[in-house]
Amino acid sequence: MPYRRLSFPRPLLPDGSDGLRLEVRGFLSEQEFEPRCDSWLSGFDPEFSRRLAVRGWVGMTWPERYGGHGRSPLDRHVVIEELLAAGAPVAAHWISDRQTGPLLLRYGSEELRERLLPAMARGECYFCIGMSEPDSGSDLASLRTAATRVDGGYLVSGSKVWTSHAHRSHFMLALVRTTPEAERHEGLSQVVIDLSSPGVEVRPIRLLTGGHHFNEVVLREVLVPDAMLVGREGEGWSQVLTELAFERSGPERFLSTFPLLRQTVEVLPAGDGHAAEEVGRLAARLLALRRLSLSVAGAIEAGEAPAVEAALVKDLGTRFERDVIESARSLAPDGPLAGLLAQAVLSAPGFTLRGGTSEILRGVVARGLLGR
């Protein structure tokens, strides 16, 4: 059976990236925040997002005419690597910056771009992801939320679930069914739903810890004007695959527990050979993952769509994030690590589910390798 070779070219960071990295570290050293594990999901701080935006680090790669800064994806990679490594509270703008903005740039109308992108780049406009539904997760194409055509737009009814931060987002980018009778991948479209619209109910789903980022979003005949359609009606499936590639390919898929790894290294007693070996193994894996992730970023910058490579990095990366927790737990179970360890343990069940489960990603990789 002939296998396709995966393409992981040697990644090259742009000239000046060391300077940019130092700039970000300088900025972070002036900020007051408690480093967190999984800060890109759990560290929601609009003030921090706005301060980051003032430095030009939100919407960094977008054209200036939409409030962006025209920087390269690899420059952005450097910035987000530093933010994640520091455990900085970046969740408020994370989804807008990572996937909704780039999706609007690729498929959105000029009107939508002008209306939304500048506010996103100022760190003031937050989006949530409206894909999963109570009966549709991995099999996303089975979703049922219906958008029925009416004069001037659609009436959207259904419910979305596991919607992180819907209760504090301004908009949801939702995948909905616009043609119920079409083949299941063909009748889908993407729409922007203003979460302040009549008919939107955001119900909290509390975590076992009492924390709250998940929601169920119930939509009852919510009027979505034509202008809020993203791309073309019926093209939602191929568009959402692009969105998932943005969602899956970044360094947050292996850096969620980096603050814990860093602190573990800081508290280990000098001269402990077993601990040094364990940490060395993790460090080697981290460096390999970083090279893989950078080469995915490089391929995206070159206009390629490395979906298979991105799926592989996410699968290996989320396994690494969990192994960091196990190592920290066995090397230094109490004392100074307790806070970060507890955060990491409680977040870990989600690592291999969110953005596509490991089983689904391995299916993507297997089909990709077989050229199907």
**Which positions lie near ligand FAD, rule CB under 6 A?**
128-132, 137-138, 162-164, 350, 353-354, 356-357, 359-360, 363
How far is residue 174's CA from residue 145's CA, in Å, rounded to a whole number?
Answer: 9
Q: Please identify which residue in the block is written with the tokens 């799926």.
A: 311
DSSP letter for 187, please: S
Cα 245 to Cα 85: distance, rounded to the nearest angstrom? 22
53: amino acid identity, one letter = A
CA distances (Å), 95 to each of 181, 225, 240, 243, in order?
32, 23, 14, 11
**Cβ atoms < 10 Å from Cβ of 115:** 16
Comparing CB distances to ligand FAD, the nearer of 107 and 162 is: 162
- Between 128 and 147, name the residue whose CB sits nearer to ligand FAD: 128
In terms of CB distance, is 139 or 221 closer to ligand FAD?
Answer: 139
Minimum Å distance from CB 24 to ligand FAD? Answer: 26
* Minimum separation from the CB atom of position 352 to ligand FAD (A): 8
- For 188, counting Cβ atoms within 10 Å of its Cβ (0-12 exposed, 13-18 middle, 19+ buried), the class is buried
Residue whose CB is nearest to ligand FAD in the complex, by number = 137
The rounded Cα 107 to chain-centroid distance in angstroms is 19
Contacts of 297 (CB under 8 A, 6+ apart): 11, 73, 74, 77, 249, 250
Distance from C-alpha of 314 to C-alpha of 319, rounded to nearest angstrom? 8
SS3 97: helix
Task: Supply the minimum distance, in Å, between the C-beta of residue 11 and ligand FAD.
Answer: 28
Cβ neighbors of 19 (< 8 A, separation 6 or more) are none
Between 275 and 348, CB nearer to ligand FAD: 348
Nearer to ligand FAD, 240 or 297 (CB): 240
Give the residue with the Cβ less far from ligand FAD, 114 or 201.
201
Closest separation in Å from C-beta 147 to ligand FAD: 16
Is the CB of 78 or the CB of 224 nearer to ligand FAD?
A: 224
State how beta strands 146-150 and 127-130 pair: unpaired
Q: Which is nearer to ligand FAD, 40 or 66 (CB)?
A: 40
Question: Mapping DSSP to helix (H, G, I), strand (E, B) and coil, where does residue 176 land?
Answer: strand
CB 169, min distance to ligand FAD, A: 9
Least Å distance, CB 263 to ligand FAD, is 23
- Residues 34 and 103: beta-carbon distance below 8 Å: no
Helix (H, G, I), strand (E, B) or coil at 201: strand
Min. distance of Cβ 131 from ligand FAD in angstroms? 3
Q: Which is nearer to ligand FAD, 75 or 216 (CB)?
A: 216
Residue 27: CB minimum distance to ligand FAD, A: 28
Shortest Å distance, C-beta 222 to ligand FAD: 17
Task: Say if CB 361 and CB 314 are below 8 A apart.
Answer: yes
CB 115, min distance to ligand FAD, A: 22
299 Cβ contact partners less than 8 Å away, ≥ 6 residues apart: 7, 9, 306, 309
Compare residues 130 and 251 and give the one whose CB is closer to ligand FAD. 130
The number of angstroms, rounded, from the C-alpha of 69 to the middle of its chain's C-alpha atoms is: 20
